[in-house]
Amino acid sequence: MHKLRAGMWGTYEKCDTPPALLVSLLHHVRATHPDVAYILWSGDNSAHNVHEVTRRQTVAANQAVTDLLRRVFPRALVLPAVGNHDSHPVNSFPPPTLGGRFSNGWLFSALRRMWRPLLDGRLGGGRRIEHSFEQTFHPYGYYYVRAAADGFRILVLNTNYCYTLNFWTLLEARDPGGQLRWLVAQLAEAEAAGERVHILGHISPGDETCRPDWSHQYSRVIHRFRATVRAQFFSHTHLDEFQVALDGAGRPFSTVYIAPSVSPWTSLNPGYKIYHVQPDTWEVIDTEHWATDLEVANRSPHRLPRWFALASARRAYRLATLRPADWLALTRRMARDRRLFDIVYSTYWGGSRRRKPCRASCRKKILCNIVTFDRSSDRHCEIIKSKLKG
């Protein structure tokens, strides 16, 4: 039997993050970016041996990452979102109205207890925030954070309620947990107060695994409040991706940033993302992907991995601003220019030399995914495919 052995800092094979790698990453963030205003923590804290673990181990994995974050960033405002791996059995998020033995109240009460102190941090180290964590996190998994003096609100969602592998959506699909209704109320309140909004969650509503009906309704909500929602942040795919939401006429109205994973699972370099935000408008003005080359790091197991800025979006992709129209223009250029596509694709994988090759059908899939935020229709995909060259 062929045996694979992981290096000190992990492996490109199907194997998750060694704790030492996560510790190294967090220490690097603290030393390199002392000015971060807040930390978005987008979920999936358990490993991929999903059918071998118990409830207790799932809670322990969440606790271990929480403790580590608290230790390295004792005063930072950390905003956690629930990932599909954070429940037990994996992907299991029953509608909160369902009580009894199928309820995952046990999970939300454990997470509420361990995550509540993360909300005590102050925005940018100074300003106080208010939040609904105690009221809404249990049993729904979503909450808001608001800095009224800054005209800023962050809505943290539980998008596991749209995940097709969350089989509970077969029981109730329309709006589990009343989350879309809550989202609309929050956005209406923010709009009336003249606030700007960022949205955080685990699975992008534009992901191919999000239910098309839910994705469609979500997209309609974001379109209605497009002047208020300044950016959306998700993860789940492990790749550094982006999506542009387009209306029926193909006009871009929102940008979705999908963060790279710390886990090298699979074939990718571990990384994290820094978002530069304009303080008055809350627009994202640049992004930086920081990574470590796992192959190089494993050659020197007794030396800490070297983390480096792989790409600034504006510099690497020659973007004037990071508005949705610029991301759409980039997508069109990627369809025409194979070299540019490869630069973006390499960043998807944290520059890993082990990244999977991307030929014609893969390029089509990626370009389609970028423009298909509303999963109920592939009309924008057909247009972008017709532009594909090379």
Residue nearest to Zn ion as judged by C-beta position: 236
Segment interacting with Zn ion (CB under 5 A) among 236-244, 288-296, 305-313, 339-347:
236-244
Alpha carbon distance 235, 204 (integer Å): 7
Nearest approach, Cβ of residue 48 and Zn ion (Å): 10
In the complex with Zn ion, which residue's Cβ is closer, 210 or 334? 210
Nearest approach, Cβ of residue 43 and Zn ion (Å): 7
Segment interacting with Zn ion (CB under 5 A) among 17-25, 50-58, 81-89, 277-285:
81-89
Per-residue CA distances from 331 to 155, 255, 327, 381 (Å): 27, 12, 6, 11
Q: Which residue in 131, 211, 223, 236 binds Zn ion (CB under 5 A)?
A: 236
Nearest approach, Cβ of residue 137 and Zn ion (Å): 19
Segment interacting with Zn ion (CB under 5 A) among 65-73, 79-87, 140-148, 238-246:
79-87
Report 285-324 residues binding Zn ion (CB under 5 A).
none
Cβ contacts of residue 161 below 8 Å, gap of 6+? 93, 95, 141, 169, 176, 177, 179, 214
Nearest approach, Cβ of residue 136 and Zn ion (Å): 22
- Give yes or no for residue 44 binding Zn ion (CB under 5 A): yes
In the complex with Zn ion, which residue's Cβ is closer, 49 or 321? 49
Nearest approach, Cβ of residue 256 and Zn ion (Å): 15
In the complex with Zn ion, which residue's Cβ is closer, 44 or 195? 44
User: What stretches of 42-185 adopt beta strand conformation (E)?
Assistant: 78-80, 130-131, 143-147, 152-156
Segment interacting with Zn ion (CB under 5 A) among 77-85, 143-151, 210-218, 315-323:
77-85
Give phi and psi for 146, each to the nearest 5.
-135, 130
In the complex with Zn ion, which residue's Cβ is closer, 136 or 159? 159
In the complex with Zn ion, which residue's Cβ is closer, 138 or 236? 236
Nearest approach, Cβ of residue 211 and Zn ion (Å): 16
In the complex with Zn ion, which residue's Cβ is closer, 132 or 235? 235
The helix (run of H) or strand (run of E) holding residue 31 is helix 19-32
Segment interacting with Zn ion (CB under 5 A) among 39-47, 193-201, 267-275, 366-374:
39-47
In the complex with Zn ion, which residue's Cβ is closer, 198 or 236? 236
170 burial level (CB within 10 Å; 0-12, 13-18, 19+): exposed
Exposed e or buried b for every residue in 86-101, given b needs 16+ CB within 10 A? Answer: bbbebbbbbbbebeee
Nearest approach, Cβ of residue 176 and Zn ion (Å): 17
Chain center to CA of 340:
24
Alpha carbon distance 292, 12 (integer Å): 12
Neighbours of 6 (CB within 10 A): 14
Nearest approach, Cβ of residue 379 and Zn ion (Å): 28
Per-residue CA distances from 2 to 5, 135, 267 (Å): 10, 52, 18
Single-letter code of the amino acid located at 218: Y
> 154: closest CA among 33, 62, 282, 321?
282
- Give yes or no for residue 375 binding Zn ion (CB under 5 A): no
Cβ contacts of residue 114 below 8 Å, gap of 6+? 62, 63, 66
Q: Total binding residues for Zn ion by CB under 5 A?
A: 4
Give me the 188-227 binding string for Zn ion, x by CB under 5 A, dash otherwise. Answer: ----------------------------------------
Alpha carbon distance 82, 75 (integer Å): 21
> 234: closest CA among 215, 261, 267?
261
Nearest approach, Cβ of residue 3 and Zn ion (Å): 28
Q: CA angle, corner 79, sides to 316 and 215, nearest 5? A: 70
- Give yes or no for residue 83 binding Zn ion (CB under 5 A): yes
Nearest approach, Cβ of residue 85 and Zn ion (Å): 6
Binding-site ranges for Zn ion (CB under 5 A): 44, 83-84, 236
